[in-house]
Amino acid sequence: MTAKREASQQKGQDPVAAKEQLGGMLSVGIDLGTSRSAISSSNGEQFVVDSFVGWPADLVARKVLQRDLLMGREAIENRTMLDLHRPLERGLLKEGPERDVEAARELLRHLLSLVDATKNGKSSQVRAVVGVPAAALRTNKQYLRAALKGVVDSLMIVSGPFAVAYGLNALLHTMIIDIGAGTTDFVVMKGRYPTEDDQRSLTIAGDHIDAHLQKQVQTKYHEANFTIYMVREWKEKHSFVGDATDKVVVTVPMAGVPTQIDITEEMRAACESIVPPIVETMLDLLPHVEPEFQERVRKSIILAGGGGLIRNLGPTLEEALERVGGGRIKVIDAPVFCGSDGGLALAKDAQEGDWDRLVN
């Protein structure tokens, strides 16, 4: 599969975008995620790729693959032949091995090549706002800068949930809960750049559910043979908390024979494992809001990220809010480009002095 075909969606070009491109300037918003990375461009294009980068493991692999570098789903599909890297595990850029920083840089280059920063042979100046997991922004600033510099002309690195808030124009008296793969990031928006006090980050998110589910299913069905990639697919199709509407039945090989197994209870337990820490953090952030605005924040909580799609999670969190006076949770039902669209909106609004600085 080619990179272009893997990318999922494109929009039509708007007149402002066309003018911007004529001027040789391209603005992009990039959501650099643990499991998926997305780009939205001022030329109207949007693409998403799985955040995997792989180099052929040896001479044989290079001969089979006929390539020096593979990205996204293609890298996952050919993983047995690759030295495979996931640059942002647990929401952090792995700083040790050089290859991980290189992997982050290659991933960004790849995203930029998809929106074709050098369209029609004319090279554009690229201004990029990159949203990263809050933990990576806090602890990997310099590495991120190093990975991104030179790839674009102007750069602004922001926390992912802040980019989501900006894109939704949810800037005042709102809370964003962004449940990704590596981390669940919380931000309370008070009409200005969020400070450290306004944000929280948990390393409990989609990957945690996958690991939990894998362990439970393996314990119940010793003979079943499956990978973490299969577990992730099961979850993305059947995730739920609370009452099950249907049985969750999947097919796995058992001693080489495809066999149907019921994993309803395991799915519920794995998905529900993230609820208590999310509730605790959500309730813990509320008293930090000025008293007269607390109700407004409780009534505009936004659930973003792929993990927000777990069936019945919104109502479950609303139930927990009953204890503190009630509230409302809005689930973003198409979260893939939420962060990158927010980054693009920021890039369009940014003034000269805003560029190449790191915002909390």
Q: Please give the residue whose beta carbon sits closest to ligand ATP in the complex.
A: 206
Q: Which of residues 47-106 bind ligand ATP (CB under 6 A)?
A: 88, 91
To Mg ion, the closest distance from the beta carbon of 77 in angstroms equals: 23
Residue closer to ligand ATP (CB basis): 34 or 46: 34
State residue 15 phi and psi, 5-degree precision: -60, -35
Is residue 240 within 8 A of residue 268, CB to CB? The reply is yes
Q: Please give the residue whose beta carbon sits closest to Mg ion in the complex.
A: 180
Letters for 311-340 (x = contact with ligand ATP by CB under 6 A, - = none) are ------------------------x-----
Q: Which does 307 bind (CB under 5 to 8 A by kind): Mg ion, ligand ATP, none?
A: ligand ATP
Q: Which does 36 bind (CB under 5 to 8 A by kind): Mg ion, ligand ATP, none?
A: ligand ATP
Beta bridge mates, 186: 177, 200
Residue 80's CB: how many other CB atoms inside 10 A?
A: 8
CA angle 275, 339, 213 (to 5 degrees): 35
Residue closer to ligand ATP (CB basis): 89 or 116: 89
Residue closer to ligand ATP (CB basis): 135 or 289: 135
To Mg ion, the closest distance from the beta carbon of 123 in angstroms equals: 30
To Mg ion, the closest distance from the beta carbon of 36 in angstroms equals: 8
Only segment of 94-102, 177-185, 259-267, 287-295 that touches ligand ATP (CB under 6 A): 177-185
The three-class DSSP label of residue 126 is strand
Q: Which does 54 bind (CB under 5 to 8 A by kind): Mg ion, ligand ATP, none?
A: none
Residue closer to Mg ion (CB basis): 137 or 329: 137
Instruction: Give the helix ranges, DSSP H, for 29-132.
Output: 59-65, 72-77, 98-114
Q: Does the protein bind ligand ATP through residue 194 (CB under 6 A)?
A: no
Only segment of 29-37, 294-302, 325-333, 343-351 that touches ligand ATP (CB under 6 A): 29-37
Q: Would you list the DSSP string of 253-302?
A: EETTEEEEEE-HHHHHHHHHTTHHHHHHHHHHHGGGS-GGGHHHHHT-EE
Rounded Cα–Cα distance for residues 4 and 159 (Å) = 27
State residue 359 phi and psi, 5-degree precision: -100, 140
Letters for 195-234 (x = contact with ligand ATP by CB under 6 A, - = none) are ----------xxx------------------------x--
What sign does the CA torsion over 120, 125, 127, 130 have? positive
Beta strands in 183-256 (DSSP E): 184-190, 199-202, 249-254
- Alpha-carbon radius of gyration of the chain: 21
Q: Does the protein bind ligand ATP through residue 167 (CB under 6 A)?
A: no
Which helix (H) or strand (E) is 45 found in, with range? Answer: strand 45-50
Only segment of 175-183, 226-234, 249-257, 352-360 that touches Mg ion (CB under 5 A): 175-183
What the block records as the tokens of 319 is 């139930």
Q: Which does 161 bind (CB under 5 to 8 A by kind): Mg ion, ligand ATP, none?
A: none
Residue 274 CA, chain-centre distance (Å), reads: 17
Q: Ramachandran region of residue 250, left (φ > 0), alpha (ψ -120 to 50) or beta?
A: beta
Q: Which of residues 104-163 bind ligand ATP (CB under 6 A)?
A: 133, 160
- Pick from 54, 87, 180, 206 the residue near Mg ion by CB under 5 A: 180
Beta strands in the chain (DSSP E): 9-10, 25-32, 36-41, 45-50, 53-56, 70-71, 82-85, 88-89, 92-93, 125-132, 154-159, 172-179, 184-190, 199-202, 249-254, 257-262, 301-304, 329-331
Rounded Cα–Cα distance for residues 170 and 175 (Å) = 8
Say how many residues touch ligand ATP, by CB under 6 A: 25
To ligand ATP, the closest distance from the beta carbon of 291 in angstroms equals: 31
Residue closer to ligand ATP (CB basis): 54 or 87: 87
Q: Which does 181 bind (CB under 5 to 8 A by kind): ligand ATP, Mg ion, none?
A: ligand ATP
Q: Would you tell me which residues interact with Mg ion (CB under 5 A)?
A: 33, 160, 180
Q: Would you tell me which residues interact with ligand ATP (CB under 6 A)?
A: 33-36, 88, 91, 133, 160, 180-183, 205-207, 232, 235-236, 239, 305-307, 309-310, 335
